[in-house]
Chain A
Amino acid sequence: MSLISLSSFYVLAGALMLATALRVMSDKGHARRWTTALFWGLLGASFAFGGSMPPAAVGYLVLGITILAASGGVRASHERTTAREERLASAQRLGERLFWPALLVPVTAVVGSLFFGRIRWHDVALVDSANLAVTSVCIGAVLALAAGLRVTRAPARAAVGEGSRLLQAVGWALILPQALAALGGLFARAGVGAVVAGLVERALPTQYSSVAVAAYCLGMMLFTMCLGNAFAAFAVITGGIGVPLVVHAHGGNPAIMAAIGMLSGYCGTLLTPMAANFNLVPVMLLELEDDNAVIKAQVPIALALFAFNLLLVEFCVYRF
Chain B
Amino acid sequence: MIKLIGIIVIAAGFSLRLNALLVVLLSGIVTGLVSGMSFNETMEEFGRLYVTNRYMALPIVMMLPVVGLLERYGLRERAETLIRRSAAATAGRVLLLYTGVRQASIALGVNIGGHAGAVRPLIAPLAEGAARVRYGSLSKAMVERIRAHAAAAENVGNFFGEDVFIAVGSILLMKGFFEGLKIEVSSWAMALWGIPTALGAFAVMAWRTHALDRHLTREAARATEDANPKDA
Do the two shown chains form a genuine complex with each other? yes
Interface residues of A, Cβ cutoff 8 Å to B: 6, 9-10, 12-13, 16-17, 46-47, 50-51, 53-63, 65-67, 69-70, 81-82, 84, 86-92, 94-96, 98-99, 101-102, 105-106, 109-110, 113, 131, 133-134, 137-138, 141-142, 144-145, 148-149, 151-152, 154, 158-163, 165-167, 170, 172-183, 185-187, 189-192, 195-196, 226, 230-231, 234-235, 238-239, 243, 247, 254-256, 258-260, 262-263, 266, 269-270, 273-274, 276-283, 285-286, 288-290, 293-294, 296-298, 300-301, 304-305, 308-309, 312, 316
A12 vs B63: C-alpha distance in the bound complex, in angstroms?
Answer: 12
| A55 partner, pick from B47, B113, B144, B189, beta carbons under 8 A | B47
Out of B34, B50, B189, name the residue touching A46 (CB < 8 Å). Answer: B50
Partner of B4, one of A89, A94, A192, A234: A192
Which residues between 113 and 170 of chain B lie within 8 Å of chain A, taking CB atoms? 113-122, 124, 140, 144-145, 147-152, 154-156, 158-160, 163, 169-170
- Whether A90 and B74, one on each chain, are in contact in the complex, defined by CB atoms closer than 8 angstroms, is yes
Judging by beta carbons under 8 Å apart, are B75 and A9 in contact?
Answer: no
B148's partner among A6, A187, A266, A297 (CB-CB below 8 A) is: A297
Point out which of A53, A297, A298, A308 has the most chain B C-beta atoms below 10 A from its C-beta: A297
- Please report which residues of chain B, range 158-203, place their CB below 8 angstroms from some CB of chain A when the two chains form the complex: 158-160, 163, 169-170, 173-174, 177-178, 181, 183, 185-186, 189-194, 196-197, 200-201
Contacting pair B160 A62 (CB below 8 A)? no
Q: Which of A189, A278, A293 contacts B45 (CB 8 A)?
A: A189
| Known contacts A133-B111, A231-B169; A170 and B31 CB within 8 A of each other | no
A154→B25 contact, CB < 8 A = no
Q: B125 to nearest A CB, angstroms?
A: 11
- Which chain A residues border B110 with CB–CB below 8 Å? 109-110, 113
Partner of B75, one of A59, A99, A158: A99
Q: Contact check, A58 vs B50: say whether CB atoms are below 8 A apart.
A: yes
B56 contacts A282, C-beta separation under 8 Å: no
Closest to A299 in B: B152
Distance of A56 Cα from B50 Cα, bound (Å): 11
Are the C-beta atoms of B55 and A134 separated by less than 8 Å? yes
Cβ of B221 within 8 Å of any chain A Cβ, yes or no, is no
A277 touches B56 (CB 8 A): yes
The 3 closest A-B pairs by CB, nearest first: A162-B68, A91-B74, A59-B47
A148 and B74 within 8 A (CB):
no
Which A residues are in CB contact (< 8 Å) with B177? 234-235, 238-239, 258
Alpha-carbon distance A133/B53, docked complex (angstroms): 15
When the two chains form their complex, are residues A190 and B3 in contact, meaning their CB atoms are under 8 A apart? yes
B204, A301: Cβ atoms under 8 Å? yes
**Neighbouring B residues of A17 by C-beta, 8 Å:** 61
Pair A142/B117 contact, Cβ less than 8 Å? no
Q: Is there contact, CB below 8 Å, between A278 and B56? A: no
CB distance from B27 to the nearest CB of A (A): 6
> Within the assembled complex, what's the spacing in Å between the Cα atoms of A57 and B43?
8
Within 8 A of A (CB), among B70-92: 70-78, 81-82
Contact of A260 (CB < 8 Å), options: B46, B66, B197, B207: B197
Contacts of B42 in A (CB 8 A): 59, 186
B146: shortest Cβ distance to chain A, in Å?
10
Q: Given that A50-B51, A190-B6, A286-B120 are contacting pairs, would A145 and B69 also be in contact in the complex, using a CB cutoff of 8 Å?
A: yes
Q: Look across to chain A and name the residue whose beta carbon is closest to the beta carbon of B4.
A: A195
Known A-B contacts: A96-B78, A183-B6, A254-B185. Give 11 more (CB < 8 A). A53-B51, A56-B43, A59-B43, A95-B78, A138-B62, A141-B117, A182-B50, A196-B4, A234-B177, A298-B156, A301-B208
- Bound together, the chains give a CA A288 to CA B22 distance in angstroms of 22
Contact among B160, B173, B197 with A231 in the assembled complex (CB-CB below 8 Å) = B173
A185 CB, nearest partner CB in chain B, Å: 4
Task: Write the chain A residue with the least CB distance to B201.
Answer: A305
- Chain B residues lying within 8 Å of A255, measured Cβ to Cβ, are 185-186, 189-190, 193
A66-B25, A133-B111, A195-B1 known; A13-B57 Cβ under 8 A = yes
Q: Is B40 engaged at the interface, CB distance under 8 Å to the other chain?
A: yes
25 pairs of residues in contact across A and B, judged by CB atoms under 8 Å: A10-B58, A56-B47, A59-B42, A59-B45, A60-B43, A62-B46, A81-B71, A99-B122, A148-B66, A149-B69, A154-B69, A162-B64, A162-B69, A179-B25, A191-B35, A243-B181, A255-B185, A262-B163, A269-B155, A280-B20, A290-B148, A294-B151, A297-B151, A300-B204, A301-B201
